[in-house]
């Protein structure tokens, strides 16, 4: 999707950019309201995530991350804006009458067909297991597909997104706008993926993924142009600690423009703010990360 610039006489439209206009009227049976009362606070009312609050009301779109409509072809009917994520979503009409939302794959247009299963072609938007020696969950029952049929094997180097971590739970990795992972190896019961962050991770070969890259690749190039647009997203201003009061930040206080009053900068909670990379703790989360 393209990013549009406007040359006008007001700072908000001169500095801001607007994405391509897409349909934004969701289906009533695929949305539900959300009750946001915390705004970055926990059950005790204490701020746990700073700079959050306000924002426009949102309706949550039910996204099909599982892609469990097996071997039933679907057609892309609309490409819609979703206020809950920076990627666009597609409304799919399946052959059995089912209607679902999925993440919009890059390059997909209205009228394209997609399908999910174990014997589907390697095509953009199709969902299939990472290996032909795959198992799948159908209606809560684990079925060994290796004995029934040989599935289409996903080749090495395939660009994928919406990747499962746990079999049958649905995609949990690589779902942001423009995100894409790469299948680089298969060995034993695991497949090796290179994630957008650069991490190399092991995933079970039974887990499924969607072929292609997530659409709206220019989302990170969009400029809001004014502070009000940021507030519509529920994000409050970020203030420097040196202009706060002493009760709010260790750098605060003093008469006029005063120094921080410490040898080294600190975080709002008093910890050192400028740790060198050699001093930062590097711990391995699990053996699934290589």
pLDDT (average), residues 76-92:
94
For residue 11, the model assigns a pLDDT of: 81
Residues 224/226/232/237 CA torsion (nearest 10 deg): 110
pLDDT (average), residues 222-245:
93
For residue 108, the model assigns a pLDDT of: 94
- Residue 187 in 3-state DSSP? strand
Whether pLDDT at 133 is above 70: no
| Confidence band of 151 (pLDDT split at 50, 70, 90) | very low
Given 1.20.120.160, 3.30.360.10, 3.30.70.100, 4.10.950.10, which CATH number is that of 240-290? 4.10.950.10
User: Looking at the DSSP assignment, which residues form a beta bridge with residue 193?
Assistant: 183, 201
Q: For the chain, which residues make up each domain, given as ranges?
A: 3-219, 240-290
pLDDT (average), residues 59-65:
95
Q: What is the pTM of this model?
A: 0.83
In the structure encoding, which two tokens stand for residue 198, read together? 């650069």
* Least confident interval from 8-22, 113-127, 258-272: 8-22
pLDDT more than 70, % of the chain: 88
pLDDT (average), residues 81-107:
95
For residue 148, the model assigns a pLDDT of: 35
The DSSP secondary structure of 204-220, one letter per residue, reads ETTSEEEES-BS-GGGG
Quick count: other Cβ atoms within 10 Å of Cβ 221? 10
For residue 149, the model assigns a pLDDT of: 36
Residues with Cβ within 8 Å of 260's Cβ and at least 6 positions away in sequence, in order, are 241, 242, 250, 251
In the structure encoding, which two tokens stand for residue 74, read together? 């679907």
For residue 282, the model assigns a pLDDT of: 63
| Confidence band of 62 (pLDDT split at 50, 70, 90) | very high
CATH architecture assignment, domain 3-219: Beta Barrel (2.40)
Does residue 133 or residue 249 have the better pLDDT?
A: 249
| Confidence band of 150 (pLDDT split at 50, 70, 90) | very low
Helix (H) / strand (E) containing 101: strand 99-103
* Least confident interval from 16-30, 104-118, 226-240: 16-30
How far is it, in rounded angstroms, from Cα 89 to Cα 103?
A: 5
Does residue 131 or residue 108 have the better pLDDT?
A: 108
For residue 136, the model assigns a pLDDT of: 44
């Amino acid at each position: 999707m393209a990013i549009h610039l406007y040359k006008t006489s007001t700072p908000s439209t001169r500095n801001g950019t607007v994405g391509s206009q897409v349909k934004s009227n969701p289906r009533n049976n695929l949305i539900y309201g959300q009750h946001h009362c915390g705004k970055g606070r926990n059950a005790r009312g204490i701020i746990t995530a700073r700079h959050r609050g306000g924002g426009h009301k949102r309706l949550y779109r039910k996204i099909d991350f599982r892609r469990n409509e097996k071997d039933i072809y679907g057609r892309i009917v609309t490409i819609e804006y979703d206020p809950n994520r920076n990627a666009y979503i597609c409304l799919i009409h399946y052959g059995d009458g089912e209607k679902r939302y999925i993440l919009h794959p890059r390059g997909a247009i209205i009228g394209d067909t997609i399908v999910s299963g174990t014997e589907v072609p390697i095509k953009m938007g199709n969902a299939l297991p990472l290996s032909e020696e795959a198992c799948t969950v159908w209606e809560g029952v684990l079925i060994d597909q290796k004995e029934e049929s040989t599935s289409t094997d996903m080749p090495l180097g395939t660009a994928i997104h919406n990747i499962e971590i746990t079999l049958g739970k649905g995609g949990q990795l690589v779902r942001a706008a423009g995100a894409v992972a790469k299948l680089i190896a298969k060995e034993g019961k695991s497949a090796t993926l290179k994630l957008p962050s650069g991490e190399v991770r092991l995933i079970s070969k039974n887990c499924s993924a969607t072929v292609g890259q997530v659409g709206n690749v220019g989302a990170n190039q969009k400029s809001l142009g004014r502070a009000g647009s940021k507030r519509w997203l529920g994000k409050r201003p970020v203030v420097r600690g040196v202009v706060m009061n002493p009760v709010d930040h260790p750098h605060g206080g003093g008469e006029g423009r005063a120094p921080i009053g410490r040898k080294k900068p600190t975080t709002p909670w008093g910890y050192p703010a400028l740790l060198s990379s050699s001093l930062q703790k590097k711990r391995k989360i699990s053996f699934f990360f290589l």
